[in-house]
Chain A
């Protein structure tokens, strides 16, 4: 797993690449919470375009992120899910509580709009 973050104005994009499984879930969660703890940050894109696999432990990270952003009255968009990753979000029901976008650009546009 590899995490990269960058800023588009006041929107923070966090890209998670590779496998988001039990082995990496904690690192990913801490990375997100560190971002969310920064002053004034409450609009986020999670970019899954390069995500190979997500396990239930990985789903929990997304759930934690979604709850955190909701509590901060912000918005979170999950972008670029491949079919396999989307299947996991659909199967687990999480898709129903998430905003999604086809790719990062679309997600940023949604948050700017």
Chain B
């Protein structure tokens, strides 16, 4: 260690000048100081927190230089002010809140000049600022102030106050304190790097947490969405074959469907699309489906139901809306009563393979505007015929050339489906859409429902 080597060399030189017991005492003292300086330099590796390092360094310094108080002031690089990084002594707490203007007081003088200053009679020194003394009531008799230098510029000052037993600060004290201040500059630099590291770690942790939260939100939204869909398809013994499928794009969307029996002869079905994605859409979907199921009763037509549900939804002034189609299928007669709100055109596939768009009187999506009416339309399915409802994720599926799958392609496809079960139709349709997209990513949710009146 360089510091120790210097100390040892100085000790030998000193011993040559003196003699006997005096030389022994002098050497012991030199050795103790050297050891403390060595310890200080070692401490730099024991902790990386700036304040801890400073405190430890000053504690050690006080072993060889007994004083009543010690403090480290750092230069605020923006304002040039000095602020107390560490203040030891009985008034430390009060002192820490004080900031010194550039050049103010002895600390300011040292910070400005980079030269150490010994003041053995504080009260009579013109540079002495009594601001700190007044604030704290701490009486300063004498003080020693040295700069903390890094590559020629002053980072701060180290100051010790009131040497114990009424003694004066000496040039040797100054040299010692300058030696103590040296590793402080290194400590400051280390601490600064460490703080930067900590900050980037913290930023990384936050980013990761946000990402995880978003991912888990999407998962929650997905679970909400799925939990509201019917889990089992009706049995093969029913006079109808209904099947539906929801395929979300990367984000969780708000497409939905449901079907349930109203009584022995009637099946209710619905399918829709919320105008957004993620948690808000999933919740809006959940509310909509809950209202539909809760409000529906065998005495209502689909149009009456939608009006009631819409009034309920609009009460909360929603920022979302949902396009919807819903219907009641009479399993005995094959009659279907349908109503819609802003949804894309359903199709009927006749048993000869002809495809008919279902012309319904249009209304607005649910939640868009209160007080509006929803209208009922009527059609009849013969055995072997079906109705297909879907969301615009099908017709607006795009290929690489940004062409859309479109209603025309959907109609062409449906012409090929007589004889297929509902599950087969849905499988084939998805395949058809994905072949068309030809690797272009699915940008919107897809939902489709097929209801076949069995032969």
User: Do A and B truly interact?
Assistant: yes
Binding site for B on A (CB under 8 A): 22, 56-57, 59-60, 63, 67, 90-94, 96-97
Decide if B382 is an interface residue (CB 8 Å cutoff): no
**Complex contact A60–B362 (CB within 8 A):** no
- State in angstroms the CA–CA spacing of A67 and B371 once bound together: 14
Decide if B369 is an interface residue (CB 8 Å cutoff): yes
Decide if B368 is an interface residue (CB 8 Å cutoff): yes
Q: Which residues of B contact A56 (CB under 8 A)?
A: 273, 275-276, 321, 323, 392
A-binding segment of B20-28, B208-216, B340-348: B340-348
- State in angstroms the CA–CA spacing of A70 and B343 once bound together: 24
**Complex contact B364–A91 (CB within 8 A):** no
Residue from A57, A91, A93 within 8 A of B345 (CB atoms) = A91
A-B contact pairs, 15 of them (CB 8 A): A22-B277, A56-B276, A56-B323, A56-B392, A59-B275, A60-B321, A63-B369, A90-B362, A91-B342, A92-B323, A93-B341, A93-B362, A93-B364, A94-B368, A96-B364
Decide if B363 is an interface residue (CB 8 Å cutoff): yes
**Complex contact B344–A63 (CB within 8 A):** no
**How far is the CB of B357 from the nearest CB of chain A, in Å?**
11
Decide if B302 is an interface residue (CB 8 Å cutoff): no
Q: Which residues of A contact B275 (CB under 8 A)?
A: 56-57, 59-60
**Complex contact B369–A97 (CB within 8 A):** yes
Which residue in chain A gives the minimum CB-CB distance to B277?
Answer: A22
Most buried by A among B275, B320, B323: B275
- B334-352 vs A: 1/0 string, CB under 8 Å? 0000000111110000000
- State in angstroms the CA–CA spacing of A108 and B341 once bound together: 31
Which residue in chain A gives the minimum CB-CB distance to B317?
Answer: A67
**How far is the CB of B247 from the nearest CB of chain A, in Å?**
18
Q: Which residues of B contact A90 (CB under 8 A)?
A: 362
- State in angstroms the CA–CA spacing of A53 and B369 once bound together: 23
Decide if B303 is an interface residue (CB 8 Å cutoff): no
- State in angstroms the CA–CA spacing of A76 and B316 once bound together: 25
Which residue in chain A gives the minimum CB-CB distance to B344?
Answer: A91
- State in angstroms the CA–CA spacing of A35 and B345 once bound together: 36
Q: Which residues of A contact B327 (CB under 8 A)?
A: none
- State in angstroms the CA–CA spacing of A59 and B369 once bound together: 13
